Structure 1
Amino acid sequence: MKFKNFIIGAALLGSIIFSVCAATGRLKIGNDPDTKAAETVVRNYFKYENEKNKEKVLSTLTDRFKSPNVVWGYDDLESIKLIGIQEEMNNNIKGSYLKDGQGSVNGTTEKNLKVFRVTYRVKYKENNKSAQESGKYVWWFNVIRKDENSPWLIDDFGEL
């Protein structure tokens, strides 16, 4: 009888923890198509960066990155690898982009914004001129679309 009560108690506790996490936004339930599509853009960005394919990288970015002044640094890059990606559910992070960041300029709405916490590892050649050093980084990636019929594109990224 004690074992049965233990199992019931453990199941109840697990159910409560799951419900609290879901209600507070700390747990993403399901994989909606918009999130998957936006995540795929970030994954492709890293794939194309590692391939040093500027044209394909540009296909993952908004037009603001298509300036002729952008220095890509591919001569110094040895490799870049995506380690992990997780959708950021903190509304303060999203609000920061929408109210104070690039979203305040381009008119992005919360519905058309996905923010991802991305962990990646980059390796540069010796004597590189990059602003970064080789190592592991965690950055936020802001992925937007103009409307529900537009593609998701990376509009901003940077360190946490």
Structure 2
Amino acid sequence: MSRARTPVVAGWFAGEEGDFHLLGTRCSACASVFFPREDTHCRNPACPGDELEEVPLPRRGRVWSYTDSRYRPPSPYVTDPELPWEAYALIAVELEAERIVVLGQGVPGLAVADLAVGMEVELVPGVLHEDAETVWTTWRWRPTTGVTA
């Protein structure tokens, strides 16, 4: 029996390994780009626009900031209290042309010691949680050079 692969948040990302990308929206009036996506109005306070189009965001960006997570996160993240908590890298990535910063976890095995501000990273699919029926999918950031995690 195969388990259903279900996005943690529907409509925020699409594609497979080679074509995996985040989905944002762009305002047709001011060209501002948003992630997470916006479906009702432009978030730019100087813009009265409400015509938004879905746009795939670039798969590569540069580390803007990073830290590690050393605590069990609250819901909706699922952790097994019987297992020891493993820290993970949390990375803020700048998408320069879109003028936005997107937060996400680093790939498993990536430590903050492996990161540097300005380093190029790429978006890859990841798994947030698995249970008997479902594989809950998400996105992760992976350095483009120097790390094989």
Does TM, normalized by the shorter one, top 0.5?
no
User: Would you tell me which structure has more helix in proportion to its own residues?
Assistant: 1
Instruction: Mark the structure with the bigger radius of gyration.
Output: 1
Q: TM-score, length-normalised on structure 2?
A: 0.29
